[in-house]
Structure 1
């Protein structure tokens, strides 16, 4: 990943044009003369301020120590004041170091402005001991944001953005916070997404939180990255699995498989403390945990209960309608039988109702995000190919085929398909609510193309087809992913409650 850095300059509250303190010209002349001579133990890497520390030893020089290498130019007054601590009127102590600074500059921070102007214990103190309330703040980030108060410029590489954000948030530096936000927006990828998401939650960056969440919804099922799965905590995974925006590349069974792997990694990491030595096949882990459980399903046992809220977000109705998938669910013995009994009953009643009821279903559907009961499925399209998909189990009223041909996405009711049963498929018309999305991602997982529909009610007769999306004249990028949400609309829902179940 290339290094992205940013430099910002503020036009707000410029430092007053004052004469340098006594001896300032002499210092500038020495700076112009070339590099300063420094003790070997204070020398840092080339072109930077020395930051070497010895535990328990307080620095008596300015915050940057003696300059390891001075540029061949005159230092500005602000640089001299910050780096050399000339004419300091307050000393800040943190990280076993001392910064000789100036109240006039520190008051550019909301944090210090309140400290020096209120009835605080530190208001009139000349030496202030600071305890960092946030473990994300380190010595370097604290030093950089202090420097911003003087220099009004700061370098923020992505690898340092969280630490800088933490320090800027503590000191209430809105300009630096905004710049951190820009850096995070441009550098979301598999390595940073979870860290950025949790940081955005802590520091109130709603746009970053949304962006990272959307990245995970688009990429979780595509990347299948162990590192990402390890970083996703229970609350975040629950939110992702509950969302109808989760891009499911094939069928809901793949969501179950991903969750199983995620739970395995979480359990093994907690027990071993590292990834080394993890079992190569996740179901072996659950066999180990199940031994001696007397037939108790894993999510009912002590180790599994923490994961129950996440697995409850699975849309099991679209897993058990496929016999091989239903067999795997039974064989794994992760999901309690009590969860499945109700689902099997509901699916059976829906099936026989669709076969025996000639009514086409409700005319109006009220959409909401309350119920997560739409079917999530999808497919991948590579350049130059045409594709069609059918999804096993989705034949309560028809065999619905989704086709990509001539840059168009078409829905077709294929009533003459020999692979489906006859009784239900011969009914002349049925309704389904659907939403369709076409998405392209770049190599970092960032969304570069997206076209989507709202939820619509689709009514097709036998062998009728409908063009849903046209990609003509669109700047598409391959591979593309087609993501579908379907919800079959049985008449029972409308007649019993007055409204139909709402796709999510």
Structure 2
């Protein structure tokens, strides 16, 4: 299949196929160069069998990786790039890995972000990993949530990382993020369910509200392995509204023990505020890390130049909804009287629409 070059030939067996290849070209790969050294049996043989144990390596990926040893330019398709990455990693083809990373970086979207993130993590493509992570942080509650078949694919570990991230773009409130996790949990438990985003929200709500069980779901053997994303939620912000509390109780997903200490803490905070026991300069002493770890997360998307007042971080998106420009007001302590307005952020010339606006609020609780 591949021709050219001088030197002894070798028949390579892998995935049930045979290739007649040249050792001279194969030796461009550190994997084969080591194999053909005098210290190994393969150096003296004309036929070599390679056991492929990585399930990501397909015949197409293997052919592309081997073909890259014979051609300066390789055509890569997004649909095949993960297999090529896996084969390139096996054969230690750094140049091909770099080229694959460039292709992946250019086409991160709702269909590829999760697959690319898993591949980039497995094969140490750090820039691709960061790009996919940022894309998912920006779009989890919108584009991913709108496509149940994609949301179902998100692993508990990845989803837990996203929920815990200070960079996660939270639309509406923390309880809205809980609803996303609730739908995800329903999709994982009901693998045969199919439908659109709105239908998934309704179906998930009915499923948990009608579940006849006294044991909280995340305490059960059935769903215990899926608990990590729910643990990453900022539980103190899930119990701020009576209607939200009623839904949490009726869903019976989160064990009461996770929330019990919060009720006492919130009540004591209210008593301290009522009695004037809160130290007046507390907010000036909080660090960026402390703020990011406990801030009340909320946000919305502006489709055009609506008149809305927020304390914000602004994120501008490109055509593939990857963050193109980010601007933040920074950590600012402001005491507001009723009806008072304070300008905390002025968008610069690089800001374009669509524009995500995020607000983070924090208290001494």
Q: TM-score by structure 2 length?
A: 0.90
Q: Which residue of 2 aligns with 1:122?
A: 42
Q: Which residue of 2 aligns with 1:406?
A: none
Q: Which residue of 2 aligns with 1:98?
A: 18
Q: Which residue of 2 aligns with 1:422?
A: none
Q: Which residue of 2 aligns with 1:328?
A: 247
Q: Do residues 455 (structure 1) and 331 (structure 2) align?
A: yes
Q: Do residues 467 (structure 1) and 352 (structure 2) align?
A: no
Alignment of 1:268-307 (within 5 A): 268-269=190-191, 272=192, 275=194, 281-287=203-209, 290-291=211-212, 293=213, 295-307=214-226
Q: CA deviation at 1:259?
A: 0.4
Q: CA deviation at 1:357?
A: 1.7
Q: Distance in 2 between matches of 1:210 and 1:334?
A: 31
Q: Which residue of 2 aligns with 1:196?
A: 116
Please point out which of 300, 314, 322 is paired with 1:379.
300
The structure with the larger Rg is: 1
Q: CA deviation at 1:175?
A: 0.7
Q: Which residue of 1 aligns with 2:289?
A: 368
Q: CA RMSD in A?
A: 2.4
Contact 2:134 2:323 in 1 (8 A): no
1:66-115 Cα offsets, whole Å, 9 max, x none, are xxxxxxxxxxxxxx428xxx975211112322211211111111110010
Q: Which residue of 2 aligns with 1:438?
A: 314
Contact 1:361 1:489 in 2 (8 A): no
1:378-408 Cα offsets, whole Å, 9 max, x none, are 12223132024xxxxxxxxxxxxx3xxxxxx
Contact 2:117 2:133 in 1 (8 A): yes
Contact 1:438 1:480 in 2 (8 A): yes
1:475-501 Cα offsets, whole Å, 9 max, x none, are 3322322112221126xxxxxxxxxxx
Q: CA deviation at 1:276?
A: 8.2
Alignment of 1:31-46 (within 5 A): none
Q: CA deviation at 1:165?
A: 0.9
1:164-213 Cα offsets, whole Å, 9 max, x none, are 11111111111100000000000000000000000001100111111111
Q: Which residue of 2 aligns with 1:149?
A: 69
In structure 2, the residue corresponding to 1:92 is in which secondary structure?
Answer: strand
Q: Distance in 2 between matches of 1:370 and 1:113?
A: 52
- Cα distance change, pair 309–144 in 1 and its aligned pair in 2 (3 A): closer
Q: Distance in 2 between matches of 1:297 and 1:484?
A: 32
Q: Distance in 2 between matches of 1:190 and 1:462?
A: 42
Q: CA deviation at 1:325?
A: 1.0
Q: TM-score by structure 1 length?
A: 0.66
1:128-153 Cα offsets, whole Å, 9 max, x none, are 01111312112222122222212222
- Cα distance change, pair 145–369 in 1 and its aligned pair in 2 (3 A): farther
Q: Do residues 177 (structure 1) and 97 (structure 2) align?
A: yes
Alignment of 1:56-455 (within 5 A): 63=1, 80-81=3-4, 89-223=9-143, 224=145, 225-269=147-191, 272=192, 275=194, 281-287=203-209, 290-291=211-212, 293=213, 295-357=214-276, 359-362=279-282, 363-368=284-289, 372-388=293-309, 402=310, 436-455=312-331
Higher relative contact order (CA 8 A, sep 6+): 2
Structure that is richer in helix per residue: 2
Contact 1:373 1:487 in 2 (8 A): yes
- Cα distance change, pair 462–386 in 1 and its aligned pair in 2 (3 A): closer
Contact 1:81 1:87 in 2 (8 A): no
- Unaligned stretches of 5+ in structure 1? 1-62, 65-79, 389-401, 403-410, 412-435, 491-504
Contact 2:105 2:128 in 1 (8 A): yes
- Cα distance change, pair 107–228 in 1 and its aligned pair in 2 (3 A): same
